[in-house]
A and B are shown apart, each in its own frame.
Chain A
Amino acid sequence: MKSRESWGRYPQVEQQTHALVWRTDALPRKDGSLLPHGLGRSYGDSCLNAGGTLLLTSGLDRFIAFDPATGVIRCEAGVSLDTILRLVAPRGWFLPVTPGTKFVTVGGAIANDVHGKNHHRGGTFGRFVRRFELLRSDGSRRVCAPDENPDWYGATIGGLGLTGLITWAEVQLTPISNPYVLQETVPFGNLDGFLDVARASEKDYEFTMAWVDCLARGKKLGRGLLYRGNFAPPQFDGLPLARSHLSHGVGLAVPMDMPAFCLNRLSVSAFNWLYYHRQNGKPKQRLTHYDPFFYPLDAIYAWNRIYGRRGFLQFQCVVPYSTARDALKEILERSSRGGLPSFLSVLKTFGDIPSPGWLSFPREGVTLAMDFANRGEKTWKLVEDLDRLTRQAGGAVYPAKDALMSPENFAAYFPQRERFMQYVDPSFSSSFWRRVNPVSLPFSLAAERGETASPPPRSLLAIR
């Protein structure tokens, strides 16, 4: 049987699968632990469960209700953001927050409390989740909302699928006048340039994100292009834009695994150079459909295969503004020195809007995401170094994109971890979770911080 992979195709693990069909069905009884699995768009091992069972949610793909007057949608947890957009965009509504791919499920978006290009304005996806139902392995079902089972609500948003199965959820959508975005592209010459344009853009633009040239060094370190935009005002309603570029997963496909030499240093640097110079250094404005603006990578179906059979590692960190300049400089330098160019690198600012999720990743500062083809030891060492630099800078690494962070780092990044542990379902676990919570923690975070040591959490799941 072919095993499920995560988007980075690393690590590869053996696990069972169980397809869920109806939201009212009971959870299956299995030897070993359970973990919900949406569309597998997480990169590392947070959506994998070596030796256990994945609960496939793709059969939970039904709508329950949509009110076009208020923009409240209720659906099963396996419904994808793509499916939602097809229903609601023509009726004047859009996702309040969307990640860079629309092929993720509502359950996955909640469990990783995903962020989008509008974090500085809207915060995370979890903020717009009005309520959801949580099914636990003991058979109990709870409706969770800010004012109903609030602890379960806070634990499950960003809860990495560990608190139980989300069967359905209700989300508040955002009104749009038409499906177009007025987009502007602004080049910046280095990291300082990015910080200036990004902060300056936050006031007038709902959406911002920047692509960065990872191979530029010295004075040009951190140069790139900032994309900023807003949904187009009503005067653009009814514009007959071509629909051909809509990428509902049927566009160009990467048909097979490309050999690793396709991604040598030369080809990446040529790609980056072309991309940068395409703009001639001047800001450029244009009107675009929301699809290529939010989901440029979705146009190339299964693009993760360009990294070949060994897969790739993604690294995404956030660092606070106070340390951002130096830390990002070091991180960019370290990764370009590694001789392992990142094919796609993204910079973005996060605002200070808090999330209801206890384990939510986004926090105020600057976030950087990079891809590295998996070349074994060398790549792992690089990512571990980036992890260390992030921790030293007081930042955090995103579990949805992680395959390597240490238990110590996890504890440092997520201070609410011990509170969260009380809410983990005793039958649920993941490869990620076992990795960051080994049977006996070799340290005490409290002691490390010089606080009085609290007894180590008795964790059933640490044993499985």
Chain B
Amino acid sequence: MKKVLVLGATSAIAQATVRLLAARGASLYLTGRNAANLDAVTKDAATRGAAKVESQVVDLNDFDTHEALVEAAYTALDGLDGVVLAHGVLGDQAEAQRSWAATEAVLRTNFLSAVSLLTVLANRFEAQKAGTLVVISSVAGDRGRQSNYVYGASKGALNVFLQGLRNRLTKSNVAVVTVKPGFVDTPMTAHLPKNKLFASPEKVARGLLSAADSRKNEVYVPGIWALIMLIIRTIPETVFKRMKL
């Protein structure tokens, strides 16, 4: 990936990924909602060696902007060969259970806006017969649990969409990489007690890029989550539904 569009560039994992890409001398087009934060990430990337960095303040929940955004990225970088889709919200499960509006907000950001963007991007990449689409999903999409099934459903739906997209784009030489991080130690979770399962955003970013480089299909980062989720998926539903998860 030499010319990369990073959607949601101010998230912790995206920032770490941007740093690695910048150090490799990639050209970057970054988006984020907060102008000051996006500016901080943009200048950081430029200082760390990115060949070129441009950015745009945009709310990706505004689907009407997506065509123009992709067009702007193509123009700014004179083409695109990679996308890292990193925007998303965790939401509040309790709130979502009380209110459809809260549920809809999670589905809109995590699923619908991703699908809208990927619709535009997939057609471009299919036409140019090259490129890598990297999408940050989550282990939460592997099985619904009472503690966060709305978030999980948004990611689970995204995973299925990506499977289909991958199936369609393989013959056009376009890689679709689904990245499923487990617990990530971000500044926002700094106050939580940490266990060995927490990974740093840097570690997740390295895993993400190596998956992108080798055009993997679905990866768990860190790898241990493949095993954990295998076990969790294997528990029979009759047992699972009684568990406190």
A binding-site residues for B, Cβ under 8 Å: 1-2, 17-24, 56, 58-59, 62-66, 75-76, 87
Contacts and interface: CB of A to CB of B under 8 A. Distances in A.
A19 B187 CA distance: 6
B80 to A, nearest CB: 25
Interface in B20-71: 34, 36-37, 40-41, 43-44, 47-48
B190 interface: yes
A24 B39 CA distance: 11
Nearest to B49: A87
A95 B187 CA distance: 28
Contacts of B187: 19-21, 58-59
B190 A19 contact: yes
A65 B48 CA distance: 9
B196 interface: no
B190 A62 contact: no
9 pairs of A and B residues whose beta carbons are closest in the complex: A19-B190, A63-B47, A62-B44, A59-B187, A24-B36, A19-B187, A21-B187, A63-B44, A66-B47
B193 A1 contact: yes
B188 interface: yes
Nearest to A20: B187
A231 B188 CA distance: 42
7 contacts: A1-B193, A17-B190, A18-B191, A19-B191, A23-B40, A62-B43, A64-B40
B6 to A, nearest CB: 15
Nearest to B48: A63
Given A24-B37, A64-B43, 18 more contacts: A1-B191, A19-B188, A19-B190, A22-B34, A22-B37, A22-B40, A24-B36, A24-B40, A58-B187, A62-B41, A63-B44, A63-B48, A64-B47, A65-B43, A75-B47, A76-B40, A87-B47, A87-B48
Contacts of B34: 22
Interface string B164-197: 0000000000000000000000011011010000
Contacts of B191: 1, 17-19
Contacts of A21: 187-188
B221 to A, nearest CB: 20
A9 B38 CA distance: 38
A92 to B, nearest CB: 15
Contacts of B43: 62-65
Interface residues of B, number: 14
Contacts of A66: 47
Nearest to B43: A64
B16 to A, nearest CB: 10
Contacts of B37: 22, 24
A75 B43 CA distance: 10
A59 B188 CA distance: 10
A23 B43 CA distance: 13
A2 B193 CA distance: 8
A332 B139 CA distance: 59
A340 to B, nearest CB: 35
A20 B191 CA distance: 11
A422 B191 CA distance: 33
A117 to B, nearest CB: 28
Contacts of A87: 47-48
Contacts of B190: 17, 19, 56, 59
Identify which of B36, B41, B43, B47 gathers the most chain A CB atoms within 10 Å of its CB.
B47
A453 B113 CA distance: 70
Nearest to A83: B48
Contacts of B41: 62
A65 B188 contact: no
A85 to B, nearest CB: 14
A192 B137 CA distance: 67
Nearest to A61: B44
A20 B193 CA distance: 17
Contacts of A23: 40
Contacts of A59: 187, 190
Contacts of B44: 62-64
A23 B34 CA distance: 13
A23 B40 CA distance: 8
A76 B43 CA distance: 11
B78 to A, nearest CB: 25
B33 to A, nearest CB: 12
Nearest to A67: B47
A65 B193 CA distance: 35
Nearest to A62: B44
B174 to A, nearest CB: 32
B239 to A, nearest CB: 34
Contacts of A22: 34, 36-37, 40
B7 to A, nearest CB: 19
A107 B220 CA distance: 36
Nearest to A59: B187
A461 B34 CA distance: 35
A185 B153 CA distance: 66
A19 B44 CA distance: 19
B55 to A, nearest CB: 14
Nearest to B39: A24
Contacts of A18: 191
A175 B193 CA distance: 43
Contacts of A63: 43-44, 47-48
Contact of B40 (A19, A56, A62): A62
A171 B40 CA distance: 18
A63 to B, nearest CB: 4
Contacts of A24: 36-37, 40
Contacts of B188: 19, 21
A63 B48 CA distance: 8
A64 B41 CA distance: 9
Contacts of A75: 47
A199 to B, nearest CB: 41
B43 to A, nearest CB: 5
A63 B37 CA distance: 13
Contacts of A1: 191, 193
Contacts of A17: 190-191
A19 B193 CA distance: 14
B40 A65 contact: no
Contacts of A20: 187
A116 B133 CA distance: 48
A76 B47 CA distance: 12
A87 B48 CA distance: 7
A23 B37 CA distance: 8
